[in-house]
Amino acid sequence: MELIVDRISKQYQNKIAVDRISLTFTKGIYGLLGANGAGKTTFMRMICGVLRSDSGTITMDGMDVTTEEYRSWLGYLPQDFGYYPEFTGMDFLLYMAVLKGMTKPQARRRAEELLELVALTETARKKIKTYSGGMKQRLGIAQALLNRPGSSSWMNPPRAWIPRNGRGSAI
């Protein structure tokens, strides 16, 4: 696995957010540190294919960031992810799984597996609007892992990851 970021840049009017960054990531865990306004979120959004760079390229093992193949390899959890408050946790995961191209039987199996993994099985049928902040964050983790990504990107480290019952496992 090799993610290559080659001279990417992004400018908003007269503000340069990312300026010709080049990095190569191999398998491992990486941190991205910087002051507010330094371009961290812009950089992550470009790596995840959510935002197009003004110049440069991003590839994973030869797959361009703009391709569906690249996006299917990636799991992405922004700091504030979008969800539908009236959906149940299970309904949300099933909906997202279909958007990711999974069949309904695959989606149901994977959603049940992930709800167990993030300790939300007991609340899977409750509306998301009733979830605590930590529960919503764990649901977001499950959503990011639906398609069994080769890589997962977190905008902030998920503090709520370790379930109270201690049965969680690292991914």
pLDDT for residue 160: 44
pLDDT for residue 148: 81
pLDDT for residue 153: 53
CB 84 within 8 A of CB 99: no
Give per-residue pLDDT as tens, 81-129: 788 999 999 999 999 998 888 899 999 999 999 999 999 999 999 999 9
Both 88 and 151 in one domain: the answer is yes
CA distance from start to end of the chain? 16
Both 150 and 88 in one domain: the answer is yes
Length of the chain: 171
Number of domains in the chain: 2
- Within 10 angstroms of residue 70's Cβ, the number of other Cβ atoms is 20
Both 93 and 39 in one domain: the answer is no
pLDDT for residue 72: 72
CA–centroid distance for 37 within its chain: 21
Rounded to whole angstroms, how far apart are CA atoms 33 and 14?
A: 23
Both 56 and 87 in one domain: the answer is no
**CATH number, position 116:** 3.40.50.300
Final residue belonging to a domain, choices 66, 100, 115: 66
pLDDT for residue 138: 93
- Residue 22: domain span: 2-66
Final residue belonging to a domain, choices 66, 84, 114: 66
Both 107 and 34 in one domain: the answer is no
Both 57 and 116 in one domain: the answer is no
Query: With b meaning 16 or more CB within 10 Å and e meaning fewer, what string describes 21-32?
Result: beeeeeeeeeee
Both 62 and 94 in one domain: the answer is no
Residue from 110, 69, 63 nearest 90 by CA: 110
Q: For the chain, what percentages of helix, strand and coil (3-state, to nearest 5) are there?
A: 35, 25, 40
Both 97 and 137 in one domain: the answer is yes
**Low-confidence residues of the chain, pLDDT below 70?**
29, 78, 150-171
Whether pTM exceeds 0.85: no
Reading the block at residue 98, the tokens are 């279909």
Three-state secondary structure string covering 101-127: CCCHHHHHHHHHHHHHHCCCHHHCCCE
Both 29 and 96 in one domain: the answer is no
CB 115 within 8 A of CB 89: yes
